[in-house]
Amino acid sequence: MTACFISLLLNLNALAPSTDGRTEALRVKRGSHIEMIADFSKFQAQKTERGTWTFTSPEMESLLEWHEAVLSWNLKSPMPEDYLQVEIKAIYPDRATKFYHMGEWSLTGKPFPRRSINKQADDEGDVLTDTLALKRPAKRWQVRLTAGSEETLKRLSLLTLSFWNNDSERAPLPAAREAWGKVIDVPQRCQRSYEGGDVWCSPTTVSMVLAHYAKVLDRPELDKDVPEVVKGVHDPAWGNGGTGNWSFNVAYVGSFPGLKAYVDRLTDVSDLERWIADGYPVICSVSYKLLKGVEDGSEGHLVICVGFTETGDVVVNDPWARLEKGETVQKTFPRQNLINAWRASNNTVYLILPDKK
């Protein structure tokens, strides 16, 4: 283990999220692990012929063998000239994969692009918009960032890598009953209230959570209406409206001072309960049909877990509401429906938190 790796690992451990007080070993045993990097001093910097800069991490080793990786980044108060390209490669004992492109990002999409990169499939893996899926698991990895300038990296406050093992056993864990009967008051917004909003579930959930923190933190500037969020997360390479790129949604939120946001994969509904017990709403990626109890379908959707009933069923802010038929944004679904629906995304969440958490 190199000195660079040891130094960086200490930074990762210092920032590790404490969702539930369980040991990290249990989470890893259940096939999920997140690496969080806030110190990039050990990244090797090199100026390219085009005048941009690359910053390459040391070779790192995860605590588990992983099949999938989702990367997130927070670039604080980005300038118009700030541009970030994020890549990762898996490293096996006998070889390494190519660097897979996990996205090109800028806050406005101009003059630099904001887009995911399609058609990267090869014999070792593929990128599914925001997720690197390997054909066989790896432990070691390396990240390469390309930025418009050295100053851009100074504004990069957080880089996370959420790793997932497809084969791990994830038996149900005891419920965190302290969350039962608690509902967080998150403002309610309906995606169908906006022209073109039928495919805006992700930015609508983000808009609701931003409005929540605008109130909680007394930061009215954080209250962004849905169309404004859409402009900040749109991915022209992502079909069906272009607003469902997980990494781009959290990157938009993470650009605001005082907030951090990243994609994670939890291992049990009790993890959600612990976030709720601590007062933090969680955006969950689910199969909408399974959430409603329809077994034949995997229609992707985003909802906000805002609480639980006295008996442990889940309370969500669901941006898809037929207001004209008397439906409300806030709905209650059976606990098992949530478990089944959330499993379709490998328990993916957006965690949006004050920087102090």
CA–CA separation, 169 vs 192, rounded Å? 38
Residues 29 and 50 in one domain: yes
Shared-domain flag, residues 316 and 185:
yes
CATH number for the domain harbouring residue 73 = 2.60.120
Residue 172 lies in a domain: no
Q: Both 21 and 134 in a single domain?
A: yes
CATH number of the domain within which 246 lies: 3.90.70.10
Rounded Cα distance, 255 and 262, in Å? 11
Question: Is residue 164 within 8 Å of 346, Cβ to Cβ?
Answer: yes
- Is residue 134 included in any domain, yes or no? yes
pLDDT at 79 over 60: yes
d(CA 282, CA 313): 15
Range of the domain at 146: 3-164
Q: What is the mean pLDDT of residues 242-246?
A: 96
pLDDT in tens, 302-347: 999 999 999 999 999 999 998 888 899 999 999 999 999 999 999 9
Summarize pLDDT for 145-175 with one digit per residue, the tens.
999 889 999 999 999 999 999 999 999 999 9
Which residue among 164, 192, 210 closes a domain?
164
Q: How confident is the model at residue 218 (pLDDT cuts 50, 70, 90)?
A: very high
pLDDT at 2: 35
* Whether residues 197 and 276 fall in one domain: yes
Tokens 């108060």 sit on residue = 77
pLDDT of residue 304: 98
State how far the Cα of 1 lies from the Cα of 195, in Å rounded to an integer.
Answer: 54
Task: Look at residue 24 and tell me if it is in a domain.
Answer: yes
Per-residue model confidence as pLDDT tens digits over 14-54: 333 444 445 788 899 999 999 999 999 999 999 998 889 99
| Mean pLDDT score across all residues of the chain | 92
CB 144 within 8 A of CB 99: yes
So what's the pLDDT on residue 357?
64
**Domain total of the chain:** 2
Identify whether residues 335 and 200 lie together within a single domain: yes
Note the pLDDT of residue 11. Answer: 37
Token readout for 64 is 């588990």
Q: Residue 315 CB: number of other CB atoms within 10 A?
A: 20
Distance between CA atoms of residues 170 and 347, nearest Å: 11
How distant, in Å, are the alpha carbons of 16, 116, 157, 261 from that of 256?
A: 21, 22, 11, 10
Residues 134 and 246 in one domain: no
134 and 190, same domain (yes or no):
no
Same domain for 251 and 202:
yes
Q: Among 7-11, 39-43, 56-60, 172-176, where is mean pLDDT lowest?
A: 7-11
Whether residues 181 and 229 share a domain: the answer is yes
Inform me whether the pLDDT recorded for 299 exceeds 90: no
